Amino acid sequence: LQDIMVKAIDALPDKEKLLISLNYNEELTMKEIGQIMGYTESRISQLHTQAMIRLRSRLREYFQFKED
């Protein structure tokens, strides 16, 4: 599962990849990430949601493929 997650994160667009890294690895808040990336906290939240949707989709595809 960890390998699948790494591949799914690597496939994200650069902004989303950076956001995920700053949020989960560096444990920064959305506000702090916004200051670093030059976006509002609201925009960072939108990007985070978009990244989570992409990751869920990749995981769903992987597990559906394994079942077939």
pLDDT of 25 > 70? The answer is yes
Q: What is the pLDDT of residue 64?
A: 86
Q: What is the 3-state secondary structure (H, E, C) of the chain?
A: CHHHHHHHHHCCCHHHHHHHHHHHHCCCCHHHHHHHHCCCHHHHHHHHHHHHHHHHHHHHHHHHHHHC
pLDDT in tens, 40-49: 999 999 999 9
pTM for the structure as a whole: 0.87
